[in-house]
Amino acid sequence: METLPGCRPLVPEAAALRSGTDDPAAAASRTCDRIDAVDPHVRAFVPEPDRRARLLGAARELMAAGPSHPAHRPALYGVPVGIKDIVHVEGVPTRAGSTLPPEVLGGAQATVVDRLRAAGALIAGKTVTAEFAVTAPGPTRNPHNVAHTPGGSSSGSAAAVAAGMVPLAIGTQTVGSMIRPAAYCGVVGFKPGYGRIPVDGVIPNAIGFDTLGCYATDVAGVALAASVLCDGWRPEVADADTHADADTEAAAGLCAAGPARRPVLGVPVGPYLERADDEALHAFREQRERLGAAGYTVREVPVMADFEQIVAQFFTMNRYEVARAHADWFARFGDLYRDETVAAIRQGHSIGDADYGAARVRRAAFRERLAADGKDAGIDVWIAPSATGPAPADLTSTGSSVMCLPWSNAGLPSVSLPAGRSAGGLPLGLQLVGPSGADEELLRAASGIERALNGN
C-alpha cells in the first residue's frame, strides 16, 4: 500500500507509547509540528490557536496520572486522535462546519470521546466536516492532490490520517461519509454496524442511519480502535490475522483462534454496480482477479434490481430526519445555513409522516431481502468499489456516495481498503461489507484481503 511521507501507522505508535520507548509529550509535539507543517495546505483541522499548549498539557497530565508500568497502560495511551467536528469534546468548541454560534451547538461530551480518553488517547483537535455532515464541503483538500476533494462529510478525519498528522481519527457516516473519504484519501476507513458505537453527544444528521467510525492507515489500526470503541467487542472472533504484536493483540482483544477460513466474496451485480464509472469498474475487475489468484472464492450475485427505488426510499427517510434534527436551529438561524444544507432541510419539510413511515417499512423489507440473498448465495462478505471513481477535481463537491448507500441503508458494517491508483495517480478503494452484527468477522476478513491486495 502506497502512503504519503510522514504516515503514522497506529499499531506501532500505540505500542511504543505503551512500552515507554515513546512518550505522550513527544507524540503531542510531533503531532503539532506535523499539523503546523502540513495543515496550511490540507486544512484538515479546525483552526485552534492554543492547540499546542492544550495538547501538551493533556499529555503531561496523562503521564503524571500514570500508570507508570507499561503492562498497565491502556490500549491508546498517549495516542493523538482527530475528532470530527460534530462530536462534542469537553473543552473544545463544536462548530459542525457551520457559522451558527458555537454556544448554540454545545452539548455534553460524547461517549465515543469518553471511551477514547479512558483508553489513554489525547484529543489532537477537531477535524473539518461538511456543514452539519450533509453535503456543503469544508475547506479540506485531498492530501494526494490538493486540487481534488477529500470526500465528505468526514473530510478532515480521512485527510488528517492520510497526511500523517494523526494515526487515528473519528468520523461518522450517514450515507457514505466514512467509506468514500477513506477511498479518496488512500486510508482504511471502518464504519461499524448501525448502533455499535453510541452516538450520544454527536450532532445528528439522520438518526436512522448515523454511525460513528474510525480511520487509520491499515486494518490493524482500525481493529485496535474498534476494540476500544465498539459495544460488546468479541476478541475471540477478531483474531490475530491483523499481524499485530503481542502487546497490541492483548490491548485490541485480538487473540489467535487458529487459521481462518477464507470468506466467500460476493459481487453485487446489477444496476447498483453499474453506478461506478469505467475506471472504478476496471480497477474492481483487477482486484477481483487478484483475490481469486490468492485463493478467494468470488461469486457474482444479482441483487438490487430495484436500485432506483432503494435510493428513493433512503432519501425519503434521510431528508425527513435531517429536517427534524434541525427544526429548532433552522427556525432561529436559517439565514446562516449554506445552500446545500437548506435544500436538504426544505426537501425534508415536504415529506410527511405517512411517506416516512412507508419508507421505513420498505427499508425493513430491503434489509431482509439483502440478507436472504447473501445467505442463499453462500456469501460471507460483499465486495464493491468504495466510490464511483477517484476523487473528483472539484472542491465544491464531496463526490457521490451512491456506492455506500445500500449498505448504510441496511445498517451493515463496512470497510474501505486502499486498492491501487487511478490513471491520474489518485487512490482507489475496495469496499467490504459484512452481515449485520458481524463487525469482528468483517475486520478479520479485511486483514486477509488487505494482505492479498498488497501481494503478501
| Catalytic entry in 154, 155, 177, 414 | 177
Say whether 126 is catalytic: no
Neighbour-count burial of 56, counting CB atoms closer than 10 A to its CB (0-12 exposed, 13-18 middle, 19+ buried) = middle
Assess contact for 391 and 184: CB atoms under 8 A.
yes
Which amino acid is it at 2?
E
Q: Is residue 230 helix, strand or coil?
A: coil
For 317-338, give the DSSP string: HHHHHHHHHTHHHHHHHGGGS-
| Catalytic entry in 98, 126, 153, 408 | 153
Q: Grid coordinates representing 165?
A: 498528522
Say whether 227 is catalytic: no
Find all residues with CB under 8 Å of 152, minimum gap 6, and list them.
129, 130, 135, 137, 138, 177, 180, 181, 398, 399
Say whether 153 is catalytic: yes
Bridge pairing between strands 211-216 and 188-191: antiparallel
Separation CA 375–CA 378 (nearest Å):
5
Terminal-to-terminal C-alpha distance of the chain: 11
Region label for 151, one of left (φ > 0), alpha (ψ between -120 and 50) or beta (otherwise): left
Q: Grid coordinates representing 36?
A: 503546523
- Residues identified as active-site: 84, 153, 177
